[in-house]
Amino acid sequence: MVRAHGAAARMTHGGTTGRSGRLAPRALLGLGLFALAVRLAFLFVGHRAGLFHGLFLDSKVYAETAATLRLGHGAGAHPYLLSPLYPYFLALFPGIEAEPTTNAAILVRAVQAAFGAGTCVLTAVIAQAVAGRRAAWLAGIAAALFGPLVHFDAAILVACLQGFCLTLAVALAVVPSGTRGRTGAWRWLAAGVALGVSAALRPTTLAVACALAMLLLFDLFARRRRGERGGAWSIVPLLLGVTLVVTPFAIRNARVSGERILLSANGGLNFWAGNHGAHDEGLLRGIAAPGVFTPPPGYDLYRDPLALELVSRALERPVSHAEASAWWRDRALADVRAAPLAWLALLARKALLFLHPVEIPQLGASYEWYRERAWPLRFPLDSRWVLILALAAPFALRVTGGRAAARRARVPLLALIVYGAAVCLFFVTGRYRAPIMPIALALAAASVVELARGLRAGATQRVRALALLAAIVALGAGSRLLYGAGGPLEIRGSTGIEERHVGMSLVEQGRYEEAIEVYRAALAERDDARTRANLARALRAAGRIEAAYDEYRRVLDERPGDAVSLYELGNLVWEEWKRPAEAEALFRRATAAAPRFAEAHFNLGAVLVQQRRFQEAAPVLQTALQLASPSAPWRAEAERAHAIALRGGGPRPERD
């Protein structure tokens, strides 16, 4: 009989953990319930404190896509733009797109809390396979209390589910099944499916799947050289599982858009955002990207997630999503080739950022902002120490158990290193790092347990353990020079976007004066054009038109190409002050700044119709209809305005 798990068992365990006992199922259940209680406590505290105040940025895009899926319209006549799978998960929760009025996100967060609790159990399982029962307890409790995991489990983002699937795959890979032949292949098939689902949530996981397959293949060749049989029943099911999940998304992309895109179409833009160069009058001055997300000027996530409009403007022709992604990628690669040493330095910088104690914010509200306001997030452990300890795991295991013990950490360590490298290839942010942290916690727990065991062992092991412990402490303490106040990698935990989101939620609820106070307080702390634009919207909604006009003008003084502010100011002067000529000029500037801004084209056409300039209005309205989605709420009015313009008269259209 062929041993199905032979290579894998030898690869991950060296035969046995060599440690006393395993956690009983009821102990794992207790860990899961404890982790769930911590997460539900955070939901309760956060809800009472008003921390969950609506959906913004990526979360809003996911929720709106989920609404179209639930209505049977699909994910759009284009390839997947962000996460392919997560909107399908959100589609199970009616009303999620109408947050905060529906409170549907409470149920989503509760379900994700259960997944997060499951991740904590799987973390304990991995730690047990690597270093035994004590490591399992330590890893499970640490994962249950680790603030970033608790936070991202409650976020309407990909991190929670991706982390669960990735941790499940590694747990399946490291836990011996004790089965033979084709029966044992089911475990590897399940691991492949888990990796495929994780990749469908965010394609970064594909790198881990490829690396694990390569490791299994390497072990297979090693077995063949030793004259042993078996091992193929781990590689083939693993790859089959990944393929079964990923293929339907690739087929859907090809059928809907005709473009060959495996999962999502945002890879090129994300690569540019983390690796682009700095240009001055056409000359490259080195790599400008700081290693965190830096979008191109004029980028609008809501209206143009892949920046097609910017590419179309640069090429002076329409482009497909695949073309746009390739254009951004090629621009970044050209910058890399022009300054290779600067790019290598950037990769080193991103590796250090991956070890950063701060959960680096990207576009949304930051972990640090929530941590200040919710006690369940205040467990005193940051990602820096977890990752340093995790990377030390094979050395700590070797101190007490030799090479065979260190071998048990190979799969989780490989997953950590490859996943981290994949993130660093693009840009570093806390929500991209979060899915790998359960695996890092399992390895960190193994380090702590093995170091403690080494300190109690014989003289040789004690000296080695002390040397490794001193190195870990020195690295952690020395990192303060990099990450601390005034250090070269200092990063503020808060982006200033949190108060803006609170204000936006208050506006949606009709609480305009409260929103105005929030915006003014945020501006007093940090002047920001986007926050000021939101203040202008709140002032107009509150009926304070003159003040709103002044704030819009201040925004446009700083950002003259802000298409949304131009559009909104045009609406204000047209609707409130009946000044169509001024509105027309503002709408024209908005469409020039954002040629795919359908609403701006419609309002420009409508104001032209109102002035009875029908020949000018007709092509503008035609453009608006071509750009508008079939479900645009103003589409019927735009069609009526277009018909009026074509026949040269009739009732005037309403304004958008």
Q: State pLDDT tens for residues 482-522.
A: 888 888 888 875 656 777 777 777 787 788 898 898 888 88
What beta strand segments (E) does 395-475 contain? none
- Report phi then psi at 80, rounded to 5: -60, 135
Residue 622 has pLDDT above 60, yes or no: yes
- Name beta bridge partners: 277: 287
Residue 654 has pLDDT above 60, yes or no: no
Would the pTM count as exceeding 0.85?
no
| Spatial separation of the C-alpha atoms in residues 356 and 385, rounded to whole Å | 9
* Lowest mean pLDDT across 119-128, 365-374, 453-462, 496-505: 496-505
* Lowest mean pLDDT across 65-79, 337-351, 562-576: 65-79
* Lowest mean pLDDT across 236-245, 368-377, 483-492, 599-608: 483-492
| Spatial separation of the C-alpha atoms in residues 362 and 299, rounded to whole Å | 14
| Spatial separation of the C-alpha atoms in residues 25 and 647, rounded to whole Å | 76
DSSP 8-state code for residue 653:
P
Look at 50 and 564; give whichever has higher pLDDT: 564
When pLDDT is averaged across residues 356-368 and rounded to a whole number, the result is 82
| Spatial separation of the C-alpha atoms in residues 336 and 287, rounded to whole Å | 7
Look at 1 and 532; give whichever has higher pLDDT: 532
When pLDDT is averaged across residues 50-64 and rounded to a whole number, the result is 83
- Contacting residues for 60 by C-beta, under 8 A, at least 6 apart: 302
- Report phi then psi at 277, rounded to 5: -95, 170
When pLDDT is averaged across residues 351-379 and rounded to a whole number, the result is 88
DSSP letters, 596-627, are T-HHHHHHHHHHHHHTT-HHHHHHHHHHHHHH
What pLDDT was estimated at residue 8?
A: 46
| Spatial separation of the C-alpha atoms in residues 573 and 545, rounded to whole Å | 9
- Contacting residues for 495 by C-beta, under 8 A, at least 6 apart: 361, 365, 366
**What is the enclosing helix (H) or strand (E) of 279?**
strand 277-280
Q: How many CB atoms lie within 10 A of CB 582?
A: 15
Highest mean pLDDT among 160-169, 182-191, 286-295, 470-479: 160-169
What pLDDT was estimated at residue 20?
A: 55
Q: Is 145 in contact with 158 (CB distance < 8 Å)?
A: no
What pLDDT was estimated at residue 259?
A: 83
When pLDDT is averaged across residues 89-118 and rounded to a whole number, the result is 88
What pLDDT was estimated at residue 164?
A: 98
What pLDDT was estimated at residue 315?
A: 84
When pLDDT is averaged across residues 440-456 and rounded to a whole number, the result is 95
What pLDDT was estimated at residue 261?
A: 87
Residue 602 has pLDDT above 80, yes or no: yes
Token pair, residue 562, equals: 């802000």
What pLDDT was estimated at residue 393?
A: 95
Q: What percent of the chain has pLDDT over 70?
A: 89
Query: Over the Cα atoms of the chain, what is R_g?
Result: 27
**Three-point CA angle 186, 188, 194, nearest 5°:** 105
Distance from the Cα of residue 139 to its chain's centroid: 24
| Spatial separation of the C-alpha atoms in residues 400 and 17, rounded to whole Å | 12
| Spatial separation of the C-alpha atoms in residues 511 and 49, rounded to whole Å | 17
Q: Is 279 in contact with 285 (CB distance < 8 Å)?
A: yes
What pLDDT was estimated at residue 284?
A: 37
| Spatial separation of the C-alpha atoms in residues 615 and 260, rounded to whole Å | 41
| Spatial separation of the C-alpha atoms in residues 414 and 212, rounded to whole Å | 8
Residue 120 has pLDDT above 50, yes or no: yes
Token pair, residue 530, equals: 């986007």
Give a three-class secondary structure readout of 218-273. HHHHHHHHCCCCCCHHHHHHHHHHHHHHHHHHHHHHHHHHCCCCCCECCHHHHHHH
Q: How many CB atoms lie within 10 A of CB 639?
A: 15
Average pLDDT, the chain: 86
Look at 355 and 258; give whichever has higher pLDDT: 355
DSSP 8-state code for residue 379:
-
What pLDDT was estimated at residue 280?
A: 36
- Report phi then psi at 285, rounded to 5: -110, 15
Start-to-end C-alpha separation, the chain: 72
Q: Is 259 in contact with 320 (CB distance < 8 Å)?
A: yes
Residue 15 has pLDDT above 60, yes or no: no
Token pair, residue 442, equals: 């399992």
Residue 14 has pLDDT above 70, yes or no: no
When pLDDT is averaged across residues 321-338 and rounded to a whole number, the result is 90
Residue 292 has pLDDT above 50, yes or no: yes
Question: Strand, helix or coil at 80?
Answer: strand
What pLDDT was estimated at residue 86?
A: 95
When pLDDT is averaged across residues 416-445 and rounded to a whole number, the result is 96
When pLDDT is averaged across residues 272-288 and rounded to a whole number, the result is 58
DSSP 8-state code for residue 286:
E
Residue 526 has pLDDT above 80, yes or no: no
Q: Identity (one letter) of the amino acid at 339?
A: A
What pLDDT was estimated at residue 101?
A: 63
Please report, to the nearest 10 degrees, the dihedral formed by the alpha carbons of residues 316, 318, 322, 327 taken in order: 10
| Spatial separation of the C-alpha atoms in residues 126 and 413, rounded to whole Å | 11
Q: Which of 182, 172, 173, 175 is nearest to 2 (CA)?
A: 182
- Name beta bridge partners: 284: 279
User: Length of the chain, please?
Assistant: 656
Composition of the chain by helix, strand, coil, percent to 5: 70, 0, 30
| Spatial separation of the C-alpha atoms in residues 576 and 243, rounded to whole Å | 57
* Lowest mean pLDDT across 312-321, 587-596, 608-617: 312-321
Question: Strand, helix or coil at 283?
Answer: strand
Q: Residue 538 — very low, low, confident or very high, per pLDDT cuts 50/70/90?
A: very high
Question: Strand, helix or coil at 280?
Answer: strand
- Contacting residues for 67 by C-beta, under 8 A, at least 6 apart: 91, 96, 97
Q: Residue 232 — very low, low, confident or very high, per pLDDT cuts 50/70/90?
A: low
Q: Residue 182 — very low, low, confident or very high, per pLDDT cuts 50/70/90?
A: low
DSSP letters, 202-222, are -TTHHHHHHHHHHHHHHHHHH
* Lowest mean pLDDT across 230-234, 451-455, 624-628: 230-234
**Three-point CA angle 148, 274, 64, nearest 5°:** 65
Q: Phi-psi region for residue 365, left (φ > 0), alpha (ψ -120 to 50) or beta?
A: beta
Q: Residue 152 — very low, low, confident or very high, per pLDDT cuts 50/70/90?
A: very high
